[in-house]
Structure 1
């Protein structure tokens, strides 16, 4: 499976989906004009990737400084996909990185964590 790398812009995050290292990373700000369109290839990649993994451990890192409500819905879709994969025996964990001064991102991470059932979701506060 090919890796997917999307460079950041003023309104979209840097995304690295590395099938060889089993790492998915989304970092930066996310408020694209059309989040569903922007994240569609990412969601498709994640779906395909999940089908191909077996016993490998997968780490998903989010380090989002700001995101809008439309992006939040897409993130929840990603977490739902990952949560279902964990329910089906996949070894996936999420690290939600945030700065201690960014209360909004911390609270959003806590809300995401409450909404998932099986997916290990670590909130990592630094600073």
Structure 2
């Protein structure tokens, strides 16, 4: 599976899905005009990777300063196959980054974390820049 690298824009996050290393990253802000068009290829690539690979560990780093409801749905769509892979025995860790004091992003991470029972979900508090 080829690595997916996309630079951040004013409406979409930086993407680095390094499938070979098992390290996936989303950083920045996410409110693309068409969330399905932006996230759809990422979800398809993730599903393909999960189906084709040997079960190597996956770490998904999410560091979004802001995201809209369409992006929240897309994130959940990315998280679901990761949870399924963890249920099947794969090591999956989601690391939710938030700035200390950003209660909105922290609470969103806690809400997502509540949907996981097999994958590891870590809340990562970062200092205010």
TM-score by shorter chain over 0.5? yes
Conservation of the 8 A alpha-carbon contact between 1:63 and 1:97: yes
> 1:53 Cα shift?
2.4
Structure 2 unaligned regions, length at least 5: none
Aligned to 1:77: 77
TM-score by length of 2: 0.94
The question of 1:44 aligning with 2:62 is answered no
Aligned to 1:117: 117
SS in 1 for 2:114: helix
Aligned to 1:95: 95
Structure 1 runs (4+) deviating above 4 angstroms are: none
Aligned to 1:107: 107
Structure 1 unaligned regions, length at least 5: none
Total equivalences in the alignment: 127
RMSD: 0.9
Give me the whole-angstrom Cα distance separating, in 1, the residues matched to 2:103 and 2:36: 26
> 1:46 Cα shift?
0.4
Aligned to 1:34: 34
Aligned to 2:54: 54
Give me the whole-angstrom Cα distance separating, in 1, the residues matched to 2:44 and 2:55: 21
> 1:69 Cα shift?
0.8
Conservation of the 8 A alpha-carbon contact between 1:5 and 1:16: yes
Aligned to 2:8: 8
